[in-house]
Structure 1
Amino acid sequence: MAETVLAKATAQVAAAQKHMPVIKGFVDAPTCTVTYVVHDPATRRAAIVDSVLTYDPASGRTALDAINPVIAYVAEQGLGVDWHLETHAHADHLSAAPYLQHKFGGEISIGAHICEVQQTFGKLFNAGTDFARDGSDFDHLWADGGTFQIGNLPVTVLHVPGHTPACVAYVIGDAVFVGDTMFMPDYGTARADFPGGDARTLFRSLRRLLELPPETRLFMCHDYLPEGRDYFVWESTVADQRRANVHARDGIDEGAFVVMRETRDRTLPMPRLILPSVQVNMRAGHMPPAEENGIVYLKIPVNQL
């Protein structure tokens, strides 16, 4: 089945001269996150990938700083938004998908394995029986090999677990939005030590993506500015990654990758916004229900991560 899905994605990339998406990236510097607007130039239908709601943990206040440029671009281009695509339940920023959905319409979607994430973190945050843990907070859940359209653009969904169990990549025309599975070649790959993560699984997901045609364009969810580079970049190709990715280039085998990744992960601090982010993002970007006083609260479990 996995080979069939990859063959379908490969054929899609090869035929993409007829279906080239227009892609605009917007960097949120505080979280090093790139939000993408992807549209079909023929129909002006669009998807927004991995949007960011600005959040100040000191005050508990949200703002629209990160997505105001996205909103302006969609309006200026006269786009209709059909999809809000999440590559996974992010641990470093809150999703703005519900706000954007309210403004533009469209469906919020994520990989079907989000249910595993909801089970784990629903327990951690003691979310109670009102939190369904069945993915129903999202409008659509994608299985490996799922397909849909953005206007005339064909989209194939690839399940690429390892960073989290629910990670997916979206192959849109000749472009792939890889989420946190990999970063730019000079930064390497995602951590694999979150609950449900696994370095060996991540390596296999990386190699799956790197089996796509060499010219396939790859768009990163983050750029964390490795030492020696002070400007954001977020686009590479399969050929670039196979030649130069510092963690997963050709010639690095699974065993060496696992040792590197597990050793490195033990040195990394938890992301600054993991606790607010995950309890919101596991709900498709919605806040927890307000309590009886009308106030929404985010929980901070003590000594659990």
Structure 2
Amino acid sequence: MHASIQAFFDPVTGTYSYVVFDHPGGHAAIIDPVLDYDPKAGRTATDNAQQLVDFITARELQLAWILETHAHADHLTAAAWLKQRLGGRTGIGRHIDAVQRVFKPIFQMEEDFATDGRQFDQLFADGDSLQLGELTLRVLALPGHTPADVGYQVGDDVFIGDTLFQPDVGSARCDFPGGDARTLFHSVQRLLSLPDNTRLWLCHDYPPDSRAPSACSTVAEQKAANVHVRSGVSEADFVALRQARDATLGAPVLLIPSIQVNIRAGNLPPPAANGHAYLKIPLDLL
């Protein structure tokens, strides 16, 4: 049975979120949902997430899973908000604990913040499977961008997070804590070893002015034209290119708020005595 897939694009962060389902009236998963955040005002909103709710409600779907491909550094996840409204279980790669251990001291998070991933309902290892009604999703470990990156494969479709972008954009940065260009190269090769007609669903697109945003590419397209890691590019050449490029990149605009929320599975920090949640800005540290 083929999965039904609906993509939703947030132009502010360049992020694609997905609803994957077996059939109308059946079971659904949401992958990489976005919580709107205004960094100037420190305000959250749920416009993007509400689109997912409306789509699921209109098709009478039961939400089984809210899945993250990794702890994003460029947008906040709406996983907690969606779970409150639609139910479902949250899931992420099991190495999220390594990411939590890095960032807990950086953000001086509360002493009892656990760094074993328990904020998520399920931590996935490579090869794990999860049921979505009549569909079975398989987990692919895709580390390199972060240690916790995973993809979700259902038939000829794979949701690959930030591992690759469209061929004219390239590949994910590897300079975050725990990232490694050599490891990313091997994760990419794992994807490119899949059949040529396999569809790779991306978490982001940052298109040039010459084209519109696009959610999907194929293995064949990536092998033929990816500007960083097409067929014939050696591991050494990719690592040199990736490391040189990463050295020129600034921090993502939403890095500081995103990480603090995303390693909590989308929950905001515990409220202060006045009932409001606060994010921290570490000075001269990142």
Q: TM-score, normalised by structure 1?
A: 0.92
Distance 1:117 1:168 in 2: 14
Query: Which range is displaced more, 88-97 or 147-156?
Result: 147-156
Instruction: Compute the displacement of 1:239 (Å).
Output: 1.0
Query: What residue number does 1:235 align with?
Result: 216
SS in 2 for 1:53: strand
2:65 is matched with which residue: 66, 83, 90? Answer: 83
Instruction: Compute the displacement of 1:229 (Å).
Output: 2.8
Q: Does 1:274 align with 2:269?
A: no
Q: TM-score, normalised by structure 2?
A: 0.98
Q: Is the 8 A contact 2:28 2:63 kept in 1?
A: yes
Query: What residue number does 1:296 align with?
Result: 277
Instruction: Compute the displacement of 1:228 (Å).
Output: 3.8
Letter in 2 for 1:266: A
Query: What residue number does 1:13 align with?
Result: none
Distance 1:62 1:256 in 2: 41
Query: What residue number does 2:86 align with?
Result: 104
1:254 is matched with which residue: 231, 235, 253? Answer: 235
Where in structure 2 are the equivalents of 1:189-208 lying within 5 Å? 189-208=171-190
Instruction: Compute the displacement of 1:230 (Å).
Output: 4.3
- Over aligned residues, Cα RMSD in angstroms? 1.0
Q: Is the 8 A contact 2:20 2:30 kept in 1?
A: yes
Distance 1:236 1:121 in 2: 33
Distance 1:180 1:193 in 2: 13
SS in 1 for 2:82: helix
Distance 1:171 1:246 in 2: 24
Letter in 2 for 1:176: V
Distance 2:34 2:210 in 1: 23
Letter in 2 for 1:131: F
Q: Is the 8 A contact 2:71 2:259 kept in 1?
A: yes
Q: Is the 8 A contact 1:43 1:152 kept in 2?
A: no
Query: What residue number does 1:40 align with?
Result: 22
Q: Is the 8 A contact 1:162 1:201 kept in 2?
A: yes
Instruction: Compute the displacement of 1:209 (Å).
Output: 1.1
Q: Deviations over 1:168-211 (max 9, x none)?
A: 00002221000001101111100000011011101011001111
Distance 1:113 1:43 in 2: 34
Query: Which range is displaced more, 63-72 or 181-190?
Result: 63-72
Distance 2:272 2:25 in 1: 44
Q: Deviations over 1:128-159 (max 9, x none)?
A: 32200110000000011111111111111011
Query: What residue number does 1:124 align with?
Result: 106
Q: Is the 8 A contact 1:290 1:296 kept in 2?
A: yes
Letter in 2 for 1:233: S
Distance 1:156 1:64 in 2: 29
Q: Which runs of 5+ in 1 are unaligned?
A: 1-18
2:39 is matched with which residue: 57, 60, 63? Answer: 57
SS in 2 for 1:134: coil
Letter in 2 for 1:67: A
State the identity %.
Answer: 52
Query: Which range is displaced more, 250-259 or 40-49?
Result: 40-49
Letter in 2 for 1:113: H
Letter in 1 for 2:258: S
Q: Deviations over 1:196-248 (max 9, x none)?
A: 101110101100111111111110000011x3434110111111111111111
Letter in 1 for 2:89: E
Distance 1:26 1:43 in 2: 20
1:284 is matched with which residue: 265, 271, 279? Answer: 265
Instruction: Compute the displacement of 1:43 (Å).
Output: 6.0
